[in-house]
Amino acid sequence: MPGRKAVLVVVDAQNGFVSETSRPVVPVLVDLVSRWQANGGDAVFTRYLNYEGSPFERLLGWTRLRERPEIDIVDELAPYAERANAVVDKRVYSFFTDEGSALVRDNGWTDLYLCGIDTECCVLKAAVDTFERNLTPWVLADACASHTSREAHDAGLLLMRKFIGTRQVITTVDLSRQLDDPEPQR
């Protein structure tokens, strides 16, 4: 991608978000991140950290992800997180905390390839925030999941297509083709 600089953002692949519904995405993420890093690509992981009195607790009744092992990156991805450019701890849905924003700016990243858990919450918010910052979001649909249900995942993808454009929601196969093509379709 001439003149473009990409980063893979692995959103909240944490023990506390892994369920029967989201567990199948973990090996997909491992394969994706291992190939991405083997090719020298920049990667960032995020971790959601809940706290007492948070809006997640007050308004949604969500009291999980306060301590280990729930907040830890899943074991299968931990070695890749250690080699990543950064692990961004956040207390909000979006990747664009002060630290996340600074990483994007300082590294000159223009294209954010988003994957992880939960499609309908943190991945969606990161995609929309990427779009609104005049950067290019790419959501890897088959490398995302919801810990609650397949329906929530599908709803998240539907909303993303509305918010950021249908062409921006791709698969890992599309990504491989896109990175091989010096002039990808926009």
pTM of the model: 0.95
* Helix H or strand E encompassing 158: helix 150-164
Which one-letter DSSP state was computed for residue 122? Answer: I
Q: Hey, CA dihedral for 136, 115, 100, 49, is it positive or negative? A: positive
In the chain, what are the domain boundaries? 6-180
Helices (H), 11-123: 25-38, 55-60, 78-83, 98-107
Helices (H), 39-87: 55-60, 78-83
pLDDT in tens, 93-103: 999 999 999 99
- Local confidence band at 183 (pLDDT 50, 70, 90 cut-offs): low
pLDDT in tens, 32-42: 999 999 999 99
Looking at residue 51, its pLDDT comes to: 96
Residue type, 166: T
Average per-residue pLDDT for the chain: 95
6-180, superfamily in CATH? Isochorismatase-like (3.40.50.850)
66-85 mean pLDDT: 98
Which one-letter DSSP state was computed for residue 186? Answer: -
